[in-house]
Each structure stands twice: as C-alpha cells, then as structure tokens.
Structure 1
C-alpha cells in the first residue's frame, strides 16, 4: 500500500467517478424550469383582488358594486349595520332617506378590508344579498326600522 496507483483495488484511494458531470446540471435546470412554470401558472390563475367600484342609494337601502365577489361578514350591532368586505377602495360617506328619516352610511378602509357602517337615530333591521351582474358583483342591502 505504497502510493496511490490502481493495482488491484486493495487500497484506500477512491476510484475515479466515471459518471457524466452533466447529469446534475440537467436535473438542476429541469427543477428551476419547473418552479418558474409553476409560478407563472399560479399568477395566471390567481383572481384579481376585489375592489369597490361604487355605492348607490336606493329607496330602501344601498347597492354596493365590486369588480368581483369579496368575502363578506356582516351583523347588526346595537341597531346599526356593520359589513366588512375583503376588498379595497376609497373611503366614502353619504345619507339616504328611510321612511322620511335620515340614515347615514360610511365606508372606511381598515387593515382587514372595507367596513361599511349604516347608522340611524332608530335601530335598524334588514338583510343583504350578493349576486353577479354583468361580470361584476352586486351587494343589495335592504333596511327597515325595528
């Protein structure tokens, strides 16, 4: 065992690797290509974020328009309506008439999304529903006094 010559494979010097050095490069390139294609497909299939387009006043409530369906959570708290939309948009406020009485509404931007609050001098009741109309999402809010 003197030296490192290949005589009878009986010593501790490792044998030269006879495999091609190209195989790891090809596999690495395929992995990078697969990740890039996956990222592109993910960007194409991700829906656009919901955005408030406009708020319309109706005779018995509001109609809120979005570019696509947002996640919605709402409840009546002490006679006022609070709706939280997982969307973006600008702050707005306004007033509507319900049985010849003023009802104030306001859209505020929060870190959770858009908060629509509807407040009146008397406690309110009502319901809301969403539907798709002309490739947009419409939330109809119908109000009445309690």
Structure 2
C-alpha cells in the first residue's frame, strides 16, 4: 500500500485502542492494594515479641519472667551455667546465696545479639531450668546445686 488513504472503507493503519493505556494503571492499582492488605493482615497476625520483664532471686537460683514462652538453650561448662535466649530487655547482674556461699550472675548480650545469663561461683555448680505459665506470664526457674 502506498498511503493511508481509504480503500474499500478501510485504513492501512489500525486505530489506537483507548483501553491499552488504562489497563497497566488498573493492574498497578490492584497490585498496590493487594500488597497493602497483605501488610495489614501480616501486622495483625504477628506474634508479640519476647520480652524479659523481671528477674527475681530465689534461695537456690533465679526466676526470670517473660511475656511469652522463651526458647532457652543452656550449657554447663567448667562448673558454670550459661543460658542463651533471644528477647528484648536490659542488662542486669547480681548475687545470690546458695548454702551460704555466693553465686554471681550476669545478664548480657553476646556477639550474636542473644542474651546470655551466666552463673558463676567459686566452686563448680550445675543448674536445671524449666518454664511454667504463672498468672499470664512465663516463669523460667533456674535451680542451682553444687557439683
């Protein structure tokens, strides 16, 4: 064809479709709306972050109070007890007496961002820990004894 003049009532170039320009906008708006609804649902169903609320000294150990059930990883190395967990809180330290002898304890962050509760005495100690739900809070009880 030599031009775009009418031949038998038809053009040689097609007319532009007005719907093609609106379709990407509709798809983009639907995608943004879907992402926003997904973010809102995810925010509503997200669990509360684990938080260390309080530490209480017991006659032969410690009691740590959390808002949720903590995942504790513990180890006993060379007569010391160390408990590792991830939570929000603040560093604490103190002393407790076990059979009239002093046991030092310290809560601090390690290089991985986890909290480490270290219990150290002048003689080797061993520890046991368990968590129970008390009054809507989780209580992690650490019991100590001499080796």
TM over 0.5: yes
Question: Structure 1: which 4+ aligned runs deviate by more than 6 Å?
Answer: none
CA contact (8 A) 2:5 2:11 kept: no
In 2, the alpha carbon distance for the partners of 1:76 and 1:5 equals: 92
Change (3 A) 1:4 1:105: same
Displacement of 1:93 after TM fit?
0.8
Moved more, 42-51 or 57-66: 42-51
CA contact (8 A) 1:88 1:109 kept: no
Displacement of 1:88 after TM fit?
2.0
Match of residue 27 from structure 2: 27
Q: Which digits, 9 at most, give the CA deviation of each residue in 1:64-94, with x for residues without a partner?
A: 0112223321110111011111012111111
In 2, the alpha carbon distance for the partners of 1:68 and 1:6 equals: 78
Query: Which ranges of structure 2 fall in alignment gaps of 5 or more residues?
Result: none
2:30 alignment partner, SS class = helix
The count of residues paired between Structure 1 and Structure 2 equals 144
Q: Which digits, 9 at most, give the CA deviation of each residue in 1:107-137, with x for residues without a partner?
A: 1133422110000111111210112222222
In 1, the alpha carbon distance for the partners of 2:97 and 2:25 equals: 71
Match of residue 18 from structure 1: 17
Displacement of 1:22 after TM fit?
3.1
Calculate the TM-score normalised by the size of structure 1. Answer: 0.86
Query: Which ranges of structure 1 fall in alignment gaps of 5 or more residues?
Result: none
Match of residue 40 from structure 2: 40
CA contact (8 A) 1:89 1:109 kept: no
Calculate the TM-score normalised by the size of structure 2. Answer: 0.86
